[in-house]
């Protein structure tokens, strides 16, 4: 997740609006849908990033794709298109989810592994995270084969990198420094 201050500001604004309208859960569900849909569709990613496609066409396409979403979510899409920030939509949605979970007293953790987590391993990781944070934790598993093995755990501002790729990289640095 790219740390963009603009995306965080939009996420905070939409969270504030959804709290006022008492639709935080519905908007969070919409934001999950937005993240999933954009992640799964190369065509949609291309549309959002294209400087050639006019804003009105992007708005029509996005409102058609997300027609079943809450009015607050649709307002976010319109606002981002009007402000020429529609490329931030996925990032804004991700930040909204994290901020809404923080309000509810939950933490979000991202566990990056080379292969998908099994249900048993996910339960063990979740148990350790609850002990570590003392809060309810939601785990998102990201598969990245480039880490070779092990895992990278990110919760809030903390990151623990126990990946094989990281260990190999540190060994390489040690060898090159000792020459």
How far apart, in whole angstroms, are the C-alpha atoms of residue 71 and residue 150?
Answer: 42
Look at residue 14 in the predicted model and tell me its pLDDT.
Answer: 94
Query: pLDDT tens digits, residue range 2-35?
Result: 447 899 999 999 999 999 999 999 999 999 999 8
pLDDT, mean of residues 144-151: 90
Cβ 11 vs Cβ 92: under 8 Å: yes
Look at residue 106 in the predicted model and tell me its pLDDT.
Answer: 83
At 155, give phi and psi (nearest 5°). -135, 115
Q: Give the tokens for residue 7.
A: 């995306």
At 149, give phi and psi (nearest 5°). -165, 180
Strand partners, 137: 107
Strand partners, 155: 109, 158
Query: pLDDT tens digits, residue range 45-73?
Result: 888 888 898 989 999 999 999 989 999 99
How far apart, in whole angstroms, are the C-alpha atoms of residue 56 and residue 76?
Answer: 14
Cβ 109 vs Cβ 129: under 8 Å: yes
Domains of the chain: 5-102 (1.10.520.20), 106-178 (3.40.30)
How far apart, in whole angstroms, are the C-alpha atoms of residue 14 and residue 8?
Answer: 10
Q: Give the tokens for residue 52.
A: 């050639």
Strand partners, 159: 154
Which of 80, 99, 79, 110 minimizes the C-alpha distance to 24? Answer: 99
pLDDT, mean of residues 65-83: 92
pLDDT, mean of residues 91-117: 88
Q: For the chain, what is the mean pLDDT?
A: 89
pLDDT, mean of residues 147-175: 89
Report which secondary-structure segment, H or E, holds 78: helix 71-82
Q: Give the tokens for residue 172.
A: 């390489």
């Amino acid at each position: 997740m790219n740390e963009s201050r603009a995306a965080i500001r939009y996420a905070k604004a939409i969270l504030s609006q959804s709290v006022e309208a008492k639709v935080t859960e519905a908007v969070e569900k919409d934001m999950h849908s937005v993240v999933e849909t954009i992640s799964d569709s190369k065509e949609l990613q291309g549309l959002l990033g294209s400087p050639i496609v006019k804003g009105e066409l992007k708005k029509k396409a996005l409102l058609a794709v997300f027609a079943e979403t809450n009015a607050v979510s649709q307002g976010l899409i319109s606002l981002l298109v009007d402000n020429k920030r529609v490329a931030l939509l996925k990032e804004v949605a991700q930040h909204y989810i994290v901020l809404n979970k923080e309000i509810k007293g939950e933490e979000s953790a991202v566990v990056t592994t080379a292969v998908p987590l099994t249900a048993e391993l996910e339960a063990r990781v979740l148990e350790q995270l609850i002990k570590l944070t003392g809060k309810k934790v939601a785990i998102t598993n990201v598969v990245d084969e480039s880490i070779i093995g092990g895992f990278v755990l990110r919760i809030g501002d903390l990151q623990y990198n126990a990946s094989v790729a990281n260990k190999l990289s540190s060994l390489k640095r040690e060898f090159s420094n000792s020459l």
